[in-house]
Amino acid sequence: MALRLALFWEVIAMAADTVRTNKMRSALTVLGVVIGITSIVGMTALIRGFDQSLRELISQSGPDIIYIQRFGVSSFGSNLRELLKRPDLTLSDARAIEQQTTTLQYVDLELGAGPGPVTQRRVFYHDLKTKSLIVFGTGENFAEGTRIPFLTGRYFTGTDVQYRKNVCVLGNTAYKLLFEPSGTDPIGKMVRVGAERFEVVGVFDKRPSPGGFNLNQDDFVAVPYTTYSRVWGLRVGAERFEVVGVFDKRPSPGGFNLNQDDFVAVPYTTYSRVWGLRVGRFGRGNMNGAITNIMISVLPRQGVSRASAMADVERVMRIRHGLKLDEPNDFDLTTQDSFLKLWDSISQGTFLALVVISSIALMVGGIGVMAIMSISVTERTREIGVRKALGARRAEILFQFLMEAAFLTMVGGIIGIALGAGIGWTVHLASGFPISLPWWSFAIGLGFSASVGVFFGMYPAFKASRLDPIEALRYE
């Protein structure tokens, strides 16, 4: 045992000596390994840091909220045409859920806050104005459920919602542009949102964002949903039309089905009247049509599990939509877990792609190791002959050259780990982007690099161990 341990350290010393003797050749040999390991460690640090930041953000912002949507992240990857056939949610749906369930603490309606078309308007205060901000309508429970921190003021009350008052709560972006430069207290001040005047009753503080990125998460203005419906003319319902003609099937390039027949045409004056898009007016979003961007949020009562609350909501919605037992839901129940599940799929796919790309660099580095070790075997043929003549066995020669290859690539792995960690810290210090450097990412880096050395060093090592000692001693 002591003899084998001494042989191990002797081989390590010989491998290190070989690297020192041929510095430039060794550096070029492991360059591919360095690049591959740097990519793995650096990107793992960034992806893991973003992942932790996102999970912390979700855990802080209403983790038990259940969203009812026409379709959302739960339908990611589904047939879009089938999703668009789903009925819109309505105010009646929200009222039915509130009245026919016993597991919910509150039910809140949100107009223009979910996936779908949004209303965007500038906010004006005296001679100051903001860029176009998203305007959405909610009930009085929105702030409680989302846990967005307040900078000053309050959120809407039930009275504000009931009497359709022109009150608003500003996101942090509007506050910074209109009030912060002059130090003016925004509470009680009148601002203009688009063409309508509103009294400011509250201001949200800056919202955290995953990774510290500026995702425009504060670019919004919240108003009571009843006021939103009144001011922007949004009504629940659908318009009836008389059919006066039908187009024939339209040709398409290459005969492909490009959905070229998926349309309905109406007079532009009717379109302007029904959906409120006026020619010559700036701005985006629905103005006078059926609400398609409706989201209902509910919060389970204290002591009620989220699964029980979801089952209660699902029962009410299926009855209202007249669904049979064998028919799937024509609505989505979305929770924070749904967002995390989607993110897990994206992050896992990204990490897999990273490993595949990095493996190319590692393979290039491995081929370089095989080439250099083959040259080394040729150059040291007489040395191998002498070692065999003195009693070295094939296994010991094989072990020697395998260890040299593994040592070479592990040196590259250590350099790659240091560079990858350095890149992560540089990005963090320069931009504040969160990073995470778990110990297993270093272990993966060293394991990959050592595996590359053993795998690609096997052929040269086997070749060295098979040399005939007599022929090797004759080699010039």
pLDDT digits (tens, 9 = 90+) for 26-53: 777 778 788 888 888 888 888 888 877 7
CA angle 199, 206, 165 (to 5 degrees): 20
Of 318, 336, 354, the domain-final residue = 336
Does 417 lie in the same domain as 282?
no
Co-location of 208 and 351 in the same domain: no
Do residue 162 and residue 251 come from a single domain? yes
**Is 178 in the same domain as 242?**
yes
* Neighbouring C-alpha atoms within 13 Å toward the C-beta of 162: 3
Q: Let me know whether 140 and 244 are in one domain.
A: yes
pLDDT at 288: 43
Q: Could you tell me if 359 and 377 lie in one domain?
A: yes
pLDDT value at residue 234 = 46
- Which DSSP category does 134 fall into? E
- pLDDT of the residue at 366: 81
Residues of the chain with pLDDT under 50: 1, 3, 234-238, 277-291
Query: Residue 268 and residue 255: Cα distance in Å, rounded?
Result: 30
Residue 264: per-residue pLDDT: 77
Q: Please report which helix (H) or strand (E) contains residue 98, including its range.
A: helix 91-100
CA 455 to chain centre: 35
Q: How far apart are CA 145 and CA 65, in angstroms?
A: 7
Q: Are residues 252 and 374 in the same domain?
A: no
Ramachandran angles phi, psi of 191, nearest 5°: -120, 165
Specify whether the CB–CB gap between 175 and 221 falls below 8 A. Answer: no
The most distant pair of C-alpha atoms in the chain lies apart, rounded to whole Å, by 104
| Closest CA relative to residue 455, chosen from 352, 369, 359, 356 | 369
Residues 325, 464, single domain; the answer is no
What is the count of structural domains for the chain?
A: 2
| CB atoms inside a 10 Å sphere around CB 346 | 12
pLDDT score at 471: 64
Task: Looking at the structure, tell me whether residues 332 and 204 fall in a common domain.
Answer: yes
HSE of 93, CA atoms in CB hemisphere, 13 A: 28
pLDDT value for 279: 38
Query: What pLDDT, on the 0 to 100 scale, is given for residue 374?
Result: 77
210, 312: one domain: yes
> How much of the chain is in helix, strand and coil states, percent to nearest 5?
55, 15, 35
Dihedral over Cα of 305, 306, 311, 312: its sign: positive
How many C-beta atoms surround the C-beta of residue 296 within 10 A?
Answer: 24
The answer to whether the beta carbons of residues 203 and 186 sit under 8 Å apart is yes
pLDDT tens, residue by residue, 217-276: 888 999 998 888 888 754 433 455 666 677 877 776 766 666 667 777 877 666 666 655
Pick the last residue of a domain from 314, 336, 358. 336
Does one domain contain both 101 and 23?
A: no
Domain end, chosen from 308, 336, 364, is at 336
Q: To the nearest 10°, report the CA torsion of 70, 75, 81, 85.
A: -30
Q: Report the pLDDT value the prediction gives residue 197, as an integer from 0 to 100.
A: 92
How many helices (H) and strands (E) would you count in the chain?
Answer: 16, 13
Q: Which domain holds residue 21?
A: 2-57+343-474
Question: Is 83:292 a contact under the CB 8 Å cutoff?
Answer: no
Looking at residue 148, its pLDDT comes to: 81
- Give yes or no: residues 41 and 179 share one domain: no
